[in-house]
Amino acid sequence: MNVVRAFEHAFGFHVVIENDVNLAVLGENWQGCGRGIDNLAFIALGTGIGSGLMVGGNLVRGASNAAGEMGFLPIGADPFAPTSLRAGAFERVVATNAMVERYAALTGNIVNVPTIFHSALAGDRHAATVLDETARYLAQGIVAIAAIANPQKVVLGGSIGLRPEILLRVRDLLPRCFPYPIAVEASELGSRAALIGAAAIGLGQLHNKLFGVDAPDGRISLPPASSAVLREATL
């Protein structure tokens, strides 16, 4: 099925489809904590894990649009296991299911991720161990990106990545496994990052059509916008 053509037929105008984490890094670059940064990474950690990467001001997609598929990093679980071709070796040890399974192995109780965070704050040492191990794996993934692309800043998003308990642990771990500084911050736009990135692409496409500009797909060149107005519109 040609999804783009189907949407264009239904809507009656030009359509662009983009990965949600790629949109998030564009959103942070335009209106978030990555403003003015040409070398930027966005990592979304929640149910799964993925990343969007900008190098030299351009979005990196790769030969088959697989750039940033962090879940398939050969870290943590066995990358040659059949399951790793579906979920990814790294995703299997760092995302939601991994945290739930890790806590269940330690306590015998199956609880959701928000409960693990709440329990850790309440002094549950097993929950704290789960957060420690999750942050340790996440730090390894960040270092993998830094060793290849060397972004000026890494932005964390997603339901797990946004938690300050994870951010503080990761910041503490990174200097212990990478000799160069890596700036890591929580997403300024939160759950709206991808939506604002989509608005950036839409405005960029409109600009190109109106002025006959054939700009590279990965680079978004937009005039300054009112952050407050834009964020209010996306609520």
In a domain, 173, yes or no: yes
For residue 222, the model assigns a pLDDT of 55
pLDDT at 220: 55
Mean pLDDT of successive 10-residue segments in the chain (235 residues)? 94 89 95 94 97 94 92 96 94 97 97 98 98 98 96 97 98 96 96 93 78 56 55 55
Query: Would you put residue 189 in left (φ > 0), alpha (ψ -120 to 50) or beta?
Result: alpha
Whose CA is closest to 116, among 160, 51, 153? 160
Q: How many CB atoms lie within 10 A of CB 125?
A: 11
> What ranges make up the beta strands (E) of 151-200?
153-157, 183-186
Classify strands 49-55 and 183-186 as parallel, antiparallel or unpaired.
unpaired
| Structure tokens given for 215 | 């700009």
pLDDT at 54: 95
CB 96 within 8 A of CB 160: yes
pLDDT at 218: 44
Residue 232 is predicted with a pLDDT of: 56
Q: Is 85 part of a structural domain of the chain?
A: yes
Domain contains 141: yes
Question: Does 6 reside within a domain?
Answer: no
Query: What pTM was computed for the model?
Result: 0.88
For 32, the domain range is 18-234
Residue 5 lies in a domain: no
Q: What is the CATH number of the domain that holds 200?
A: 3.30.420.40
Question: Does residue 48 lie in a domain region?
Answer: yes
Any domain includes 1: no
Q: Is residue 4 part of a domain?
A: no
